[in-house]
C-alpha cells in the first residue's frame, strides 16, 4: 500500500511539473522575432519594440476562461502598458478559424484597447509554444523572455497573485523576475490542424 502511494505521488509530481519543464525552453533566451498585423491592419514587429518591455497575451474570444479573466487583464494592461512606463502589451489570437471582423467587434464591445494580433496560421503561437488562452509571456528590454506562464494564480483575497503585475513591478524596479515560470491555465490554443 505504501509503495502504491509513493508511486502515485511520484507520478503526480511528474505530471504537475511537466508543463514547467516545457517552459524552460524560452525563459532567459531571446524571444522569437515576429511581425503580425493587428485587427485594423497595423503591423507590429518584436524587433521594432526592442528597448521596451513587451507583454504577450494569448487570447481567444470563444474561451470562457480567457473571458473570465478579461476584466483583470484589461485592468492590468491599463495600469502598466503606458508610454511613460515603456511597456507594450499585445494580445495574440492564434485561433485558426478566427474571423477578424467578429474578433474586432467582440474586443470593442468588451473594452479591449490593446492591439490584438492576427496569428491564424499559428506561426507565432507555435514559436512561443503558447498552450492556453490566456498564456502570458514577458520580454525584457533586451529582447529576452523573462516570464512564461499564467496571468494569475486563480485565487481570491489575500492569496491572490497577479504574476504579470508582479513581474512587471520587478522589472520596473531593475530586479530580476522572481517567479519566471508558472503553469498556464485556460482553453487550449486552437491551432490550424
Domain count, the chain: 1
Distance, CA of 128 to CA of 137 (rounded, Å): 8
What sections of the chain are H helices per DSSP? 2-23, 64-68, 70-80, 100-109, 123-128, 163-172
pLDDT by residue for the chain (193 residues), tens only, comes to: 555 444 444 344 344 444 444 445 899 999 999 999 999 999 999 999 999 999 999 999 999 999 999 999 999 999 999 877 899 999 999 999 999 999 999 999 999 999 999 999 999 999 999 999 999 999 999 999 999 999 999 988 889 999 999 999 999 999 999 999 999 999 999 999 9
Distance, CA of 61 to CA of 107 (rounded, Å): 8
Q: Residue 162 pairs with which residues in a beta bridge?
A: 152
What's the CATH number where 176 sits? 3.40.30.10
Q: Is residue 165 one of the residues assigned to a domain?
A: yes
Q: Is residue 161 one of the residues assigned to a domain?
A: yes
Distance, CA of 107 to CA of 130 (rounded, Å): 20
Q: Is residue 1 one of the residues assigned to a domain?
A: no
- Asked whether 18 and 131 are in contact (CB, 8 A), the reply is no
Q: Is residue 46 one of the residues assigned to a domain?
A: yes
Structural domain that includes position 72: 26-188
Amino acid at each position: 500500500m505504501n509503495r502504491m502511494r509513493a508511486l502515485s505521488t511520484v507520478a503526480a509530481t511528474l505530471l504537475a511539473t511537466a508543463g514547467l519543464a516545457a517552459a524552460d525552453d524560452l525563459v532567459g533566451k531571446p524571444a522569437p522575432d515576429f511581425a503580425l498585423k493587428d485587427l485594423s491592419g497595423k503591423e507590429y514587429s518584436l524587433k521594432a519594440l526592442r528597448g521596451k518591455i513587451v507583454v504577450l497575451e494569448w487570447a481567444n474570444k470563444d474561451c470562457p476562461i480567457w473571458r473570465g479573466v478579461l476584466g483583470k487583464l484589461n485592468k492590468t494592461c491599463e495600469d502598466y502598458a503606458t508610454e511613460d512606463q515603456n511597456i507594450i502589451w499585445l494580445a495574440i489570437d492564434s485561433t485558426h478559424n478566427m474571423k477578424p471582423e467578429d474578433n474586432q467587434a467582440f474586443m470593442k464591445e468588451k473594452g479591449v484597447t490593446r492591439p490584438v494580433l492576427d496569428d491564424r496560421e499559428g506561426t507565432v503561437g507555435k514559436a512561443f509554444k503558447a498552450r492556453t488562452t490566456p498564456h502570458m509571456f514577458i520580454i525584457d528590454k533586451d529582447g529576452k523572455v523573462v516570464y512564461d506562464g499564467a496571468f494569475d494564480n486563480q485565487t481570491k483575497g489575500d492569496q491572490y497573485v497577479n504574476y504579470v503585475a508582479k513581474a512587471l513591478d520587478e522589472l520596473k524596479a531593475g530586479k530580476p523576475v522572481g517567479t519566471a515560470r508558472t503553469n498556464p491555465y485556460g482553453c487550449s490554443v486552437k491551432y490550424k490542424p
